[in-house]
Amino acid sequence: MDDARQILPLTFSARPVQEVARDLLGRYLVRELADGTSLIVRLVETEAYLGISDRASHAFDGHRTDRVQSLYLAAGHAYVYFVYGMHFCLNVVAGVTPEGGAVLLRAAEPVEGIEQMTVHRSLQRSAKPGDIAGGPAKLCAALQVDREFDGAQLDRAPLYLACGHPVADGEVARGRRIGVEYAGEAAGWPLRFALRGHQHVSRPRP
DNA sequence: CGGAAGATCCACT
DNA sequence: GTGGATCTTCCGA
């Protein structure tokens, strides 16, 4: 049963971005802290950003600045960016070729190390579902992921993707992406994927 | 070199 | 439902 902790190879992400976003649902994200503690979460919500051809993507039209460099690394690398003066968001670079495609990890369900994550999020023990990692910035805070991980490879400690438990199509809900209203037509593309009705998915539920 | 906006979250009404 | 917190990054002048 510990197959669930098998590391996913970088090639997992070397497929069309939407496919990767869909397939990441149910997978594990593992963070090993310096003191040896393992934090594990199960991904329940993702968003695909297609890159050059996607107005909502930070790589739209080949946009390439220092901040965005890691979006053009090979599939399976991390792209971590800072938003709103106080939050970090974690993406998995994805796609068959480097075109700036990536999957934003939006929400997850704590599996192991809940106590520690609760501390990282400055919550009381009575955290409700979604409080710990029910949002992209919450997820980063819970796992202590920041710009240090920008450009890191997600197939090795201290931060990696693991097999977890793939989900059936019937469990997957799709919808438009969050917070990209400025992106014109691309704003309506159904590139948000989530586990249907799952308590840890952020709002609004797709 | 200044200003504005941002793939967010939370507290408050 | 709304606005404030907070600061990096980038673009235009």
pLDDT tens-place string over residues A106-124: 999 999 999 999 999 998 8
Average pLDDT on A70-87 reads 96
Instruction: Specify the DSSP element, H or E, that contains A78.
Output: strand A78-83
The pLDDT value given to residue A103: 98
Predicted confidence at residue A26, as pLDDT, reads: 98
Give the mean model confidence (pLDDT) for residues A124-136.
Answer: 88
Q: Residue A126 has what pLDDT? A: 67
Residue A195: strand pairing partners: A172
Q: Which nucleotides of C are covered by protein (CB under 7 A)?
A: 5-11
Percentage with pLDDT > 70 across chain A = 99
Continuous segment of H or E residues that includes residue A141 = helix A136-143
CA distance A27 to A50: 21
pTM over 0.75: yes
**pLDDT tens digits for A167-188?**
999 999 999 999 998 898 999 9
pLDDT for residue A204 is more than 90: no
Name the nucleotide with the smallest C1'–CA separation from A71. B7
Residue A117 tokens, joined: 């994550």
**pLDDT value of residue A127:** 79
Q: Hey, how many other C-beta atoms are within 10 angstroms of the C-beta on A33?
A: 14
Place A157 in a pLDDT band, splitting at 50, 70 and 90: very high
> So what's the pLDDT on residue A1?
64
> What confidence score (pLDDT) does residue A124 get?
81
Q: At a CB cut-off of 8 Å and minimum separation 6, what does A186 contact?
A: A54, A55, A56, A180
Name the percent of chain A lying above pLDDT 90.
Answer: 90
Distance set, CA A97 to CA A5, A75, A161 (Å):
27, 8, 20
Q: Strand C neighbours with CB under 7 A?
A: A 63, 65-68, 82, 84-86, 147
**Which residues have CB under 7 A from strand B?**
A 47, 49, 56-59, 71, 79, 82-87, 89, 91, 102, 104, 121, 131, 135-139, 177-180, 182, 202
- Cβ partners under 8 Å of residue A196, min gap 6: A170, A171, A172, A173
> Taking a C-beta distance cutoff of 8 angstroms, is the pair A61, A53 a contact?
no
Chain B nucleotides close to protein (CB under 7 A) are 5-10
Q: Is the pLDDT confidence value at A51 over 80?
A: yes
Place A89 in a pLDDT band, splitting at 50, 70 and 90: very high
Provide the pLDDT confidence category of residue A206 given band limits of 50, 70 and 90.
confident
The rounded distance, in Å, linking the Cα atoms of A168 and A139 is 24
Q: Is the dihedral of CA A90, A142, A194, A11 positive or negative?
A: positive
A126 CA vs C9 C1’ separation (Å): 37
Joined together, the tokens standing for residue A178 give 């969050």
For residue A69, give both structure tokens. 């460099």
Of A18-32, A69-83, A99-113, A117-131, the one with minimum mean pLDDT is A117-131
